[in-house]
A and B are shown apart, each in its own frame.
Chain A
């Protein structure tokens, strides 16, 4: 049986069971099925399929609760797995016949490794001031001086504000690990805007893997607020619009997302070849369209009539302020997120954006003559569909956002240091796509690992809901059998159909 046939069988089972257990008063949402593209998609797209399936199984409230659980309970586990994977990959980069001791040029007495800031900051994070309102959504642990922050990106942002001054980044035991100096002015051997990185003196005698592992241990890859901000930005462009991100930058991000999506859709045994890192015309067009919409802070909802929607950055700021309150328990944190998600979903149902702004159009398809026009569905945005679409988009972008969070200066820097040690001072990652390509095994493993966690969450919920409706169906079937037996026995003693219909209400 093909994937599409199996998908249709699952949805048909859900539909028939729901019809079987439906009361006469139940109202079926005829609009919902219009957006369920994943049901007829030949590609695997497991997460898309499961989220769409859940929209016909459960309501908005349960979906919100599930996504909030994912944000509050699973992120720590995901971060732990990612760090483990990063350490293994770093070890595999440097252990190919090389002396794992620190090379002399990386030691505190050496010349250091020179890294251009633009070669580790593929998302232009450092162009945003951590102390600005948008910066508060992108950076973590923002301290007055920045250079004493516990988050490496914030620390680096602080280093960049004090050229020629050397700062130390400490390990988890608060011992110096790396010393970093920023030079905005270049020399004959060093371009402008570069970081010179050396090990701290106490690491001179240690092995490179120790430095790598200790560095990875100091990193906080993401937190609940950060991931929520990034997901909402990747869907609605809320932050991108507020900080005027360039279209070029947004296209770069869309390219990275395309690669992640392709790897997500790959089978476990598929070898990730070069085709995953090159783009078709359709993909390029889609990237440009996404970039344009994000630049304008717009997301198009695929309802009966495509409808533009937006979530203003102020809603993100409000949620972050609430989540930033001291001594917030996990239950309180969950309540804050659920409450804000509900507010955002309600906001989307307001028709505040009358028209979809200009987005690039595909070349028009030549008109086919003599085809009668089909009657059009009336333009009536369905609030239920909009709210469900909001939650499913969060799930669909969960893995992509976590992986793109890994492509952050704090991670790229340590990988670039190792790359330069192995392949020479000129070795660089050209862009985010190149970074994934050169570390494709770890990215495949991470993407599959996170997808599996998301699938487990969604599948668990789907199975729970299916078992509920199947249990109801079993009860209904038994009652039906009893009713049929009674009807047949009555009909055999001469009771007519009309009389049986009148008696029907006595059992069911």
Chain B
């Protein structure tokens, strides 16, 4: 007696739920939410206030991180049985490296949109003249983080 057990599948379901990929893609898609762009700050405020800023500091960041460590349920200070608190040390190292990189390697590229109002005053054979207009090209510049 022989029974054909190798006959071709006839009941294949090709829905997306059939595969783990389909399920995982559906779950990942649920996290994708379009975000609105951030509102710009008033330029005069940046122009004036920028000069008052103290600059980035490793000590301030590390101090804040260690102060808030308890929020995550981690012990603050030395853990006596295990010696110095290595998590705090690694926090300091991470912050130092990030800040060093920001201060010494990072560059800020600035693009100024076209359409900036321009006023030019001068004189020619006909006498004094004032010319008004707008920039037609974008401007660019570099900056560093302090």
Bound pair (A, B): yes
List, in ascending order, chain A residues with CB within 8 A of B17's CB.
Answer: 46, 452, 455-456, 459
- Given contacts A444-B11, A452-B13, is CB(A467)–CB(B30) below 8 Å? yes
Given A267-B18, A492-B46 in contact, is the A455-B3 Cβ separation under 8 Å?
no
A267, B19: Cα distance in complex, Å: 6
Contacts of B24 in A (CB 8 A): 3, 6-7, 9-10
Chain A residues with CB under 8 Å of B53's CB are 491-492
Complex alpha-carbon distance, A448 and B14, angstroms: 10
Q: Is B137 an interface residue (CB 8 A)?
A: no
- Evaluate contact between B13 and A462: CB separation under 8 angstroms: no
Known: A268-B18, A452-B18, A455-B17. A13 touches B23 (CB 8 A): no
State whether the Cβ of A494 lies closer than 8 Å to any Cβ in chain B: yes
- Does A463 reach chain B (CB closer than 8 Å)? yes
Q: Tell me, rounded to whole Å, the shortest Cβ–Cβ distance linking B22 to chain A.
A: 9
Known: A3-B21, A427-B1, A459-B23. A17 touches B41 (CB 8 A): no
Q: Please pick, from B8, B9, B11, B33, the residue contacting A470 in the complex, using a CB distance under 8 A.
A: B33
Point out the residues of chain B lying under 8 angstroms from A85, CB to CB: 11
Q: Is the CB of A10 within 8 A of B60?
A: no
Q: Is B20 in the interface zone, CB < 8 Å from A? A: yes
Q: How far is the CA of A452 from the CA of B22 in the complex (A)?
A: 12
Q: How far is the CA of A494 from the CA of B13 in the complex (A)?
A: 65
In the complex, residue of chain A having the shortest beta-carbon distance to the beta carbon of B60: A497
Mark out the residues of chain A between 262 and 279 whose CB falls within 8 Å of any chain B CB in the assembled complex: 267-269, 271-273
Which residue of chain A has the shortest Cβ distance to B4 in the bound complex?
A96
Quick check: is A193 within 8 A (CB to CB) of the other chain? no
What residues on A are CB-neighbors of B52 within 8 Å? Answer: 492-494
Let me know if A438 is at the binding interface, CB within 8 A: yes
User: What residues on A are CB-neighbors of B14 within 8 Å?
Assistant: 268
Query: What total of chain B residues lie within 8 Å of the partner, measured CB to CB?
Result: 43
Bitwise interface map of A from 369 to 411 toward B, beta carbon under 8 Å scored 1, else 0: 0000000000000000000000000000000000000000000
From known contacts A442-B11, A492-B48, infer whether A462 and B3 are also in contact, taking CB-CB under 8 Å.
no
Cross-chain contact A268 with B23 (CB below 8 angstroms): no
A-B contact count (CB 8 A): 121
Task: Compute how far the CA of A24 lies from the CA of B15 in the bound complex, rounded to whole angstroms.
Answer: 42
Within 8 A of A (CB), among B4-57: 5-15, 17-21, 23-28, 30-31, 33, 35, 38-39, 41-42, 45-46, 48-50, 52-54
Q: Are B9 and A44 in contact (CB under 8 A)?
A: no
- Asked if A466 lies at the interface with its beta carbon under 8 angstroms from chain B, I say yes
Residues B49 and A44 in contact, CB atoms below 8 Å apart: no
A485 with B71, Cβ < 8 A, contacts A424-B1, A470-B31 known: no
Scoring A residues 1 to 44 as 1 if CB is less than 8 Å from chain B, else 0, what string do you get?
A: 00100110110010001000000100010000000000000001
Complex formed: what's the CA distance from A484 to B52 in Å? 18
Cβ-defined contact, A46 with B20, below 8 A? yes
Contact of B45 among A50, A455, A489 (CB under 8 A): A489
Q: Are B46 and A50 in contact (CB-based, < 8 A)?
A: no
- One of A437, A452, A466 near B27 (C-beta < 8 A): A466
Contact A268-B27, Cβ < 8 Å, known A6-B21, A485-B39, A492-B52: no
Known: A10-B24, A463-B26, A477-B35. A24 touches B13 (CB 8 A): no
Which residues of A sit under 8 angstroms from B54, Cβ to Cβ?
Answer: 496-497
Contact B31 A17 (CB under 8 A): yes
* A44→B20 contact, CB < 8 A: yes
Q: Find the B residue at minimum CB distance from A53.
A: B27
Closest CB in chain A relative to B130 CB, distance in Å: 33
Per the bound structure, the CA–CA distance linking A44 and B23 in Å amounts to: 10
Contact call B12/A268, Cβ cutoff below 8 A:
yes
In contact, B20 and A493 (Cβ under 8 angstroms): no
- Let me know if A444 and B9 touch, CB within 8 A: yes
Collect the chain B residues with CB atoms within 8 Å of residue A474's CB. 33
Residue of B nearest to A428 (CB): B1
Interface centre among B8, B31, B35, B54 (most CB of A within 10 A): B31
Distance between Cα atoms of A437 and B50 in the complex (Å):
76
Task: List residues 423-441 of chain A with CB under 8 A from any CB of chain B.
Answer: 423-424, 426-427, 437-438, 440-441
Q: Can you list 14 pairs linking A and B with CB atoms under 8 Å apart?
A: A10-B24, A13-B28, A13-B31, A45-B20, A46-B23, A419-B3, A423-B1, A437-B5, A440-B5, A445-B9, A459-B23, A470-B33, A489-B49, A492-B49
Residues of A within 8 A of B (CB): 3, 6-7, 9-10, 13, 17, 24, 28, 44-46, 49-50, 53, 85, 267-269, 271-273, 419, 423-424, 426-427, 437-438, 440-442, 444-445, 448-449, 452, 455-456, 459, 462-463, 466-467, 470, 474, 477, 481, 485, 488-489, 491-494, 496-497
Question: Knowing that A13-B28, A85-B11, A419-B3 are A-B contacts, what are 7 other residue pairs whose CB atoms are under 8 Å apart, sorted by A's residue number?
Answer: A10-B24, A10-B28, A45-B20, A268-B13, A462-B27, A485-B39, A492-B46
Query: What 10 A-B pairs come out closest when comparing CB atoms?
Result: A492-B49, A445-B11, A268-B18, A44-B20, A6-B24, A466-B30, A13-B31, A494-B52, A10-B27, A423-B1
